[in-house]
Structure formats: C-alpha cells, structure tokens
A and B are shown apart, each in its own frame.
Chain A
Amino acid sequence: MNGKEFLDVLTSRKSIRRYKTDPVPDEMIDMILEAARWAPTGENYQPWRFIVIRDQETRNKIGELSKQGSGSRMTSWYCLNELQKRFEGIEDPEKRAGVLEFMYSGRVSEFCKQAPVIFAVIGDLRVGSVDVPYDLCAAMENMILQAHAMGLGSCWVYGPVASTRDAIRFKEILDIPTGMGDYKVLSYLAVGWPLEQRKHPRPKLPLEDMVYWEKFGNKERI
C-alpha cells in the first residue's frame, strides 16, 4: 500500500452507528486488538487493557448507561437553549427538531445494544507512565482504522464514562477495579458490519485554516 492508498483509508472512514446483526468473526476481532497493540506508547509502557464484550445483556447495560449519560447532559443543554444553538446550522426545522430530540433523549448514545461487539478501552494507571490517556487514544485510533480497513464500521463512544459517577458505574458493570489509582476508562468502541452507507465523511476544514509554518499564526509556507 502506498501513501496515497493509506490516505484513502483515512479519508473514507466515518463513524458508524447502525450495524447489521451479523457477528464479527473472531479473526477480525483479533486483528483489531493486534492493531491496538502496536499503537505508540510512552516509554513502551503499553498501559492499555481491552475488554471484548459480545454478551447482549452487558451491551444492554452499557447502552442504557450511555443513553442516560448523554440524555441527562443534553436535556439540560436544551433547556438552557444551548443545544439548539449548536445545531442551528440545520435549516429544516423539522429535521432540526428530530436531531435535537435524538440528542436530548440520549438515544444518540444507545446504539451499542445493536453493535455485535464492543471493546472497552481502559488503562492500567499502576503500570503506565505519564502518558496513559494519550496512549489509550492512540490505541483506539488504530482499532478504528483497522476495523475500517477490513470493511467494518465503528464508533468511538464516550457517553457512558463522561461523568465520574458514570465511569464508576461502567467499571462496576465490567468488574473493573474502581480504586482511584487503579484504572482509567477511556471509552468504548462499537464495531459491526455497517448498515449505513460507507462514504467519504463530513467536510473537513481546509489545511490552510489549521496549519502554520515555523511560528503560530504564520500561514505562509517558508
């Protein structure tokens, strides 16, 4: 694969939240985990740990926690008229109302109930160096790209662990030690065969809006 082909893998990925019921084969699950294992990690500490969850009951519990977490936050955002402002770019009022309801009901984060497999990504704070959260994010990105390269869809979901109280609940569902210095829960990755159309994703900001040369603010390539 050359650089251009690799870039095509990157640019054709989008978050997938609707999945077919077909299971994800074990060898694909193993490849996703293998991709995570090769992520960059400070001083090679490899603090990441992964819990592979296929059990429907567990996924339902996590889905409910996600829904409750997102819904409880977004209900208050809506009631103070701030969620609406975030979505004022949607011109069709009916469509906008539907999107808003999808958000404040919490249904936006519930979909792991339908994903055939989810991966909880956690970090062992006792073995990690100073880089645990960043190492975990790098592992997560590798997993997402590996899944996408194999034709699977995935979505990085933060909903059930966004608040400290919910993060503890998430740990309890999965029997993860809850001591303050034990494990960090980053989030989970939902994976499955995409039901949504795979296409090049939402438009991105152009490079000139985000790249400076040599010094902050300098847009001229020197």
Chain B
Amino acid sequence: MDQVKYCNEVLARVEELMFQELSGMAYWKCEFVGVDFIRSFDIQGKTVPEIVQSCAKVMQEAGLVSDVAYRTSKDGVMLKLTVRGCMHHGKEAHVKNEGIAPYICPVANMVLDQIHQKLKYETSYLFKDATDPENNRCLLYMALYETGDKIGCVSDWLEDDPDAQWLKNQPSQILAAADRKKK
C-alpha cells in the first residue's frame, strides 16, 4: 500500500469538504493542522532563522520534506519558505486540479506554530500556498509580527522575488471571487 498516496487522498477529501463549508475562509481555520507533530519535538531557537532551521531538520529527518529554504523581508515581516520534496505535494496537486487554491500546509503551520510558541511572535496563518507540482516544490508566504505594532507595516514582498512572475499566475483564495466575476 502506498501510505503517502492514501494519506493525501484522505486529506484532499477533507479539504474539499472544508472548502464546501467555509469557501475561501477555510484556510483561515487550518493553522493547527500538523502542529501536534512538531510539538512532540523540543524545537530550539532564539531567532526566526534558528526556529525555521530547527523545524526543517526535524521534518527532513522524518521524511516529510527533502528541503526547506527560507527568506525574510528586510523588515522581518515576511517569511517565505520554498519547500521541496514534501510528502503532501500529491494532496496539493489534487486540490489545485479541482480549482481550489491549496490552503492547508502542515509544513507552514509547524513553522508558524513554533515561531509563535518559542518567540512569542504574532503570526498570520499561511497566506499563500503556491504549489508547483511539475517542479515538486511549494512556495509559502506568511507574515510574522515580532510586536503588535508591526501589524500594518507594509512593503512589496515580491519586489526582489525571483518567483514573482510565476506567482502572478497562481490561484489566490482572496481574489478567486473577483477573478470569476471579471470573467
């Protein structure tokens, strides 16, 4: 039995169900999916990079992902993860094929959870989960707020992002309705 395939098929059905119930809001509700796994480890770190690296190491050793690269914006608000070889890619591809922008990413949830727990940052949920099945990777964008007054500090996250052009053509939950309306 292909357990990963089975797991992803089950998850994709649950995501379909959640999307039917909550539409685009579903992805606001899923920030705890996957966190139990990472909480079972003693993740150490005093900075965002240290937490990300520590989480990535655990996930790699467990076989959840093959690689996690990260990038932060100058003001520290943006965290971008590029995840390769994730065991959930099959699930993301399935959901994307159904016309739903992927919205549940255990990898992002684990990292955000540990940044929140260990550094006491406020975090957004995963904002964008752009899946690229052909290249076996996902681009994940999320916001980190060291203090409350960082909320509302805006900048252009895509200014120097080499993936900006590709990202423009990826589905967006918050724009899906507007895009459909235009068509």
Name A's B-contacting residues (CB within 8 A).
67-68, 71-73, 75-83, 85-86, 101, 104-106, 133, 162-165
* A86, B157: Cβ atoms closer than 8 Å: no
* A165, B31: Cβ atoms closer than 8 Å: yes
Given contact pairs A73-B28, A86-B175, A163 touches B152 in the complex (Cβ within 8 A):
no
CB proximity of B135 to chain A, nearest CB, Å: 20
Q: List 28 A-B contacts (CB under 8 A).
A: A67-B151, A68-B151, A71-B151, A71-B152, A72-B124, A72-B151, A75-B77, A76-B127, A76-B141, A76-B143, A79-B73, A79-B78, A79-B156, A80-B127, A80-B158, A80-B167, A81-B156, A82-B174, A82-B175, A104-B152, A104-B154, A105-B152, A106-B151, A133-B21, A164-B29, A164-B31, A164-B32, A165-B116
* A79, B175: Cβ atoms closer than 8 Å: no
CB proximity of A65 to chain B, nearest CB, Å: 11
Q: Provide the residues of chain A in CB contact with B172, threshold 8 Å.
A: 82
Q: Provide the residues of chain A in CB contact with B73, threshold 8 Å.
A: 79
The verdict on B99 contacting chain A, using a C-beta distance below 8 Å, is no
CB proximity of A91 to chain B, nearest CB, Å: 16
The verdict on B178 contacting chain A, using a C-beta distance below 8 Å, is yes
Which of A76, A82, A105, A164 sits near B124, CB closer than 8 Å?
A: A76
* A72, B178: Cβ atoms closer than 8 Å: no
* B154, A72: Cβ atoms closer than 8 Å: no
Interface residues of B, count at CB 8 A? 35
Name B's A-contacting residues (CB within 8 A).
21, 25, 28-32, 73, 77-78, 116, 122-125, 127-128, 141-143, 145, 148, 151-158, 167, 172, 174-175, 178
CB proximity of B145 to chain A, nearest CB, Å: 6
* B158, A81: Cβ atoms closer than 8 Å: yes
Q: Provide the residues of chain B in CB contact with A76, threshold 8 Å.
A: 78, 124, 127-128, 141-143
Question: In the docked arrangement, what's the CA distance between A78 and B141, Å?
Answer: 12
B154 and chain A: residue at smallest CB distance: A78
* B174, A86: Cβ atoms closer than 8 Å: yes
* A163, B157: Cβ atoms closer than 8 Å: no
* B155, A79: Cβ atoms closer than 8 Å: yes
Q: Provide the residues of chain B in CB contact with A105, threshold 8 Å.
A: 151-152
Which of A79, A82, A163 sits near B77, CB closer than 8 Å?
A: A79
Q: Nearest 5 pairs between A and B by C-beta?
A: A71-B151, A76-B143, A76-B127, A105-B152, A79-B157
Select the residue from B151, B156, B157, B175 with max chain A CB neighbours within 10 A: B151
Q: Provide the residues of chain B in CB contact with A67, threshold 8 Å.
A: 151
Q: Provide the residues of chain A in CB contact with B153, threshold 8 Å.
A: 75
Question: In the docked arrangement, what's the CA distance between A165 and B157, Å?
Answer: 25
CB proximity of B128 to chain A, nearest CB, Å: 6
